A and B are shown apart, each in its own frame.
Chain A
Amino acid sequence: MTQSAKLYFEDVELGDEIGPVVISVTDEQVVDFCSLWGNPAPNRFTDQEQAEKVGLAEPIVPGIMSMALVSRVLTDWAGAGTVLDLDLVFRGTIPHNQPLHVGVQISDTEQGETGNRVQCDITMTGPVPDRPYIIGTALLDLPSRQ
């Protein structure tokens, strides 16, 4: 896969941590995303009343939008074209307009015929670090300097 190199395999080591990168999602961003997704506002992601109707305390960030945010953190760090696999579990509802802490830790590296693979553990947390909104893994393929 063609890559825009920001990071090389030789730059990373097992146990390295990236972040936490702090991001947040505005109401307007969620409305934009939902319109694209074929789920126009108002809905439980954009509207307080609609959210309460389905048992939510407030509008939430859609799961696939939160996945896009994690993907952004990875491509900001490693470059476009590096993500081979992103596997996320949504464990909690994600609020708008609040700091979201995305942490990435390298759990394995392997250089071989299939490429320069970097396995990462991923979390997204809010104010309570041990109650993550998202946990998961990513597999990246980084270019080599060799």
Chain B
Amino acid sequence: MPTQIDYEYDHSLYGVEHESGPFPVTEEIVETYTRSVGEDNPIFTDRESARAAGYSNVVAPPTLCALFERGELPDIKLQFKGRQFHGGQRVEPRAPIMVGDTLTASSHLKDVYTKTGRSGTMVHVVWETTFRNQDGAVVADVQRSQVVRE
């Protein structure tokens, strides 16, 4: 639920789901991802090791789906201008994502709230995204908090 806020924005976005995708999880994506973050667990890099551990294919590391969460989301028309930065992220993996899967995302505006500290007032804009695989199974929930600081 939205909390009290001193700044205007488009409240009509609450309760509206924004669909995006499809996002194919390719071998190349998982390989580049694991290389760039130094992930060398063989479950994430080698098909035979993944199969030996009970998976059907190479597994995507738990936070890989957050790559796709950056899709186009509506402008909330926030009447508060300032420097924007990524304030936080939450990923809750629900089921393994594997090479060969195709994900879709459903995002909604979860909350907009303010915090005031020594550095001034900040507005937090929180989007929540649910990822499903090609079978419709939920594989992850992701929350992203974007912050605007005056």
The count of chain B contact residues (Cβ–Cβ below 8 Å) is: 36
Given contacts A4-B43, A80-B44, contact A72 B38 (CB under 8 A): yes
- Assuming the A-B contacts A29-B36, A36-B33, A68-B61, are A76 and B91 also in contact, with contact meaning beta carbons closer than 8 angstroms in the complex? no
A41 close to B (CB within 8 Å): no
Chain B minimum-CB-distance residue to A93: B85
Chain B residues with CB under 8 Å of A37's CB are 67, 70
State in angstroms the CA–CA spacing of A2 and B49 once bound together: 13
Check B112 for interface membership: any CB of A closer than 8 A: no
Task: Give Cα A85–Cα B85 distance, bound, in whole angstroms.
Answer: 22
Q: Check B96–A67 contact: CB distance below 8 A.
A: no
- Interface hits, A3-33 → B, CB 8 Å: 3-4, 23, 29-30, 32-33
Smallest CB–CB gap between B23 and chain A, Å? 11
The answer to whether A32 touches B96, judged by C-beta atoms less than 8 angstroms apart, is no
- A63–B92 Cα distance when bound, in Å, is 16
Give B73 Cβ to nearest chain A Cβ, in Å: 14
Q: Kindly list chain A residues whose C-beta atoms are within 8 Å of the C-beta of B89.
A: 63-64, 67, 88, 90
Contact residues of A with B, CB < 8 Å? 1-4, 23, 29-30, 32-33, 35-39, 54-55, 62-65, 67-69, 71-72, 75-76, 79-81, 83-90, 136
22 A-B contacts, Cβ less than 8 Å apart?
A: A2-B54, A4-B43, A4-B53, A23-B38, A29-B38, A32-B32, A35-B32, A36-B29, A37-B67, A54-B83, A62-B86, A65-B37, A67-B91, A71-B61, A71-B91, A75-B39, A76-B41, A83-B93, A85-B91, A86-B91, A87-B88, A89-B87
Q: Which residues of B contact A (CB under 8 A)?
A: 29, 32-33, 35-39, 41, 43-44, 53-55, 59, 61-64, 66-67, 69-70, 83, 85-93, 95-96, 143
